[in-house]
Structure 1
Amino acid sequence: MAKFESVESYLNSLSGKSLDYVETMRSLILSLNPNIQEYSAYGLLAYKLNGYTCYIGGFTNHVGIYGPISDVIKRSKEELQSYKVSKGTIQFPLSKPLDLILIEKIIKLALHL
């Protein structure tokens, strides 16, 4: 797993649609609450608020939301049927437009907003 010293160094490692999607998700997350802390951890972008954390990352074929989100996945099971999901991962393929309404819901649940 690559380690990045900063948010900027992580973003500089991405390109194309992966970068576009991560930037879109990043803007959405930061707009939800001015107290959300953004940093790089575990080779991803991390977002923390009041002790709750979630992560986003961009890859060749998808962007994802990661972390301790198994409860979020259970609560959103119906809406996530068309996405690849595991215990702590939700993948959004680059071949589809981002569902920003769903992503906002997931982030709000993950960060307890």
Structure 2
Amino acid sequence: MPTPDPIDDYIAGFPAPIQERLVAMRRTIRAHAPQATERIAYRIPTFHQGGNLVHFAAFAHHIGFYPGPSGITAFADALASYRQAKGSVQFPHDAPLPLDLVAAIVAFRVRENGAKRAPKRASKRVPKS
């Protein structure tokens, strides 16, 4: 018997039109972060790769996307028409999801998290004799 998927369960808790939007977000994130693991954190779907990568969630009037402050800052111009907070952006249900923008932000966050985890350069210190 397959193990229940908590993100599938999360998505199933919404009306069909919202489920479609959540599935589109999940597929877009997965396509641009194929090595990321999925989990529920903060009671919302979360992708983790070298740390929290992005989160997303459904609300009454929008999909919340949480790439963290760096993801919002790096794409400030492209996100200017959306309601934002320090590390999040809201995509209203009455407008198409900007999946190309989501993809670009996810790719940025994958690179950013990868750089944080890159091995440090070897020290040039000469050991004492």
Bin the TM-score by the shorter chain.
Answer: 0.7 to 0.9
The alignment-based identity, stated in percent, is 25
Distance in 2 separating the partners of 1:33 and 1:76? 18
**Residue type of the partner of 1:41?**
A
Higher helix content, 1 or 2 = 2
**Residue type of the partner of 2:37?**
Q
**TM-score, length-scaled by structure 1:** 0.85
RMSD: 1.7
**Greater CA radius of gyration, 1 or 2?**
2
Count of matched residue positions in the alignment of Structure 1 and Structure 2: 108
Counterparts of residues 1-113 of structure 1 (less than 5 Å): 6-66=6-66, 69-112=68-111
Higher strand content, 1 or 2 = 1
Q: CA deviation at 1:56?
A: 0.5
**TM-score, length-scaled by structure 2:** 0.75
Gap runs ≥5 in structure 2:
113-129
**Residue type of the partner of 1:80?**
L
Gap runs ≥5 in structure 1:
none
